[in-house]
């Protein structure tokens, strides 16, 4: 059974720092991995999706990497800003149908 774990559960950093959020999964036979952002009281916003054949994806200050063999993905945020404060979730699909298994999330706080 696929399990997704995110460490740490919470992270507080000063503005301007580069940071890394971690996601691990137990079954390496994944089709893709998706990173989301969730603001309090809001839905999830898709940040990046990495297909199983890819090693990384970049969008602005965000870079997500995928290492299937070790069952790990990282989300790198460069030059963090207070507006980056949110909960970040990673998820992998059950199968090609896209049903997602989510990690518990990392709550990020960026202090001015």
Partner 1 sequence: NAGVTQTPKFRVLKTGQSMTLLCAQDMNHEYMYWYRQDPGMGLRLIHYSVGEGTTAKGEVPDGYNVSRLKKQNFLLGLESAAPSQTSVYFCASSYSGQGKSGPQHFGDGTRLSIL
- Minimum CB distance to partner 1, residue 87 (Å): 10
Q: Which is nearer to partner 1, 80 or 91 (CB)?
A: 91
Helix (H, G, I), strand (E, B) or coil at 83: helix
Q: Which is nearer to partner 1, 2 or 28 (CB)?
A: 2
Total number of residues shown for the chain: 112
- Residues with Cβ within 8 Å of 29's Cβ and at least 6 positions away in sequence, in order, are none
- Minimum CB distance to partner 1, residue 16 (Å): 29
- Minimum CB distance to partner 1, residue 56 (Å): 16
Residues 23, 21: Cα–Cα separation, whole Å:
7
Q: Which is nearer to partner 1, 47 or 80 (CB)?
A: 47
- Minimum CB distance to partner 1, residue 21 (Å): 15
Q: Which residues bind partner 1 (CB under 8 A)?
A: 31-32, 34, 36, 42-46, 49, 51, 89, 91, 93, 96-100, 102-105
Q: 4 near 101, Cβ under 8 Å?
A: yes
- Joined together, the tokens standing for residue 55 give 């090693």
Q: Which is nearer to partner 1, 89 or 108 (CB)?
A: 89
Residues 93, 47: Cα–Cα separation, whole Å:
16
């Amino acid at each position: 059974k696929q399990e997704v774990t995110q460490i740490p559960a919470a992270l507080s950093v000063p503005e301007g720092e580069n940071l890394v959020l971690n996601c691990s999964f137990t079954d390496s036979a994944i089709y893709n991995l998706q990173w989301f952002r969730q603001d309090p009281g809001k839905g999830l916003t898709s940040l990046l999706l990495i297909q199983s054949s890819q090693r990384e994806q970049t969008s602005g200050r965000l870079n997500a990497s995928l290492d299937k063999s070790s069952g790990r993905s990282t989300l790198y945020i460069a030059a963090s800003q207070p507006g980056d404060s949110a909960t970040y979730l990673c998820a992998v699909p059950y199968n090609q149908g896209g049903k997602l298994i989510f990690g518990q999330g990392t709550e990020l706080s960026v202090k001015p």
